[in-house]
Amino acid sequence: MYAWRAASQVAGGSGLVPLQQITNLSSLRPARRIDSGGTLDYHRTLFLGGRPEGLLTMPRPLSVKIAIAVAFLVAGFVVLFGVGLKGSLVYYLTVGEFLERSGHEDLGENYRINGNVVPGSIQKDPRVPGARFLMTDGARQLAVVYGKETPDTFVDGSEVVVEGSPRPDGIFMASTLLAKCPSKYEAQNRKGDSYKKPAGQGGPPASPGPVPTPR
């Protein structure tokens, strides 16, 4: 059952005004009231004038506040993760790929470059650790400066992987240098090539013929 309360009687009484006596419909608006269970609920009851007595404003549900807080936390975590990932990102490239990319991107990024030491390009100062050298992918060359002790496997022609960043003058400043030993397959190939040389030029000795079996 629904009723309407007159605005003139809200302040002075609690009487009800029949629907037939309502003349100003523009002042009617929906409101909420407290039901028998003690909770707020929407009703189709229309009140005249200001807010009736006894009505309370529904607070924002706690679950909505928690959802908003969680959303902000997740967004902040995603931003921090993206910034950290970008800062730790390392590109693995060949010498040619690096030279193509470094001309179009920020020189402050870290790179990991693979290539081979150009024979005769290693320069060392006995007073300080490190070395200056050229590395190549077979087509293009890159000048590298490394300021730490070089491994024993760092020799002419060895395969190397350097990690660092380029300077504006194009020289690559390596913070890490790895030199790989020749694989067993490459060593076998070099050994096989020596067997192909003519006799007297380093080839293997001729194998003796079959030993006759005594009868």
Per-residue pLDDT of the chain (215 residues; tens, 9 = 90+): 444 444 444 444 444 555 555 555 555 555 455 455 554 444 444 444 455 544 445 555 667 777 777 777 777 666 565 544 444 455 678 999 888 876 655 555 788 999 999 999 999 998 999 999 999 999 999 999 999 999 999 999 999 999 998 888 889 999 999 998 755 435 444 544 444 444 444 444 444 445 444 44
Q: Which residue segments constitute the domains of the chain, with CATH numbers given?
A: 4-47 (no CATH), 90-185 (2.40.50.140)
Token pair recorded at residue 127: 């007073």
DSSP letter string, 178-205: EEEPPPHHHHHHHHHHHHTSPTTTTPPP
Contact 79, 67 (CB under 8 A): no
Contact 166, 173 (CB under 8 A): yes
Q: Is the pTM of this model over 0.75?
A: no
Amino acid at 111: Y
Contact 14, 47 (CB under 8 A): no
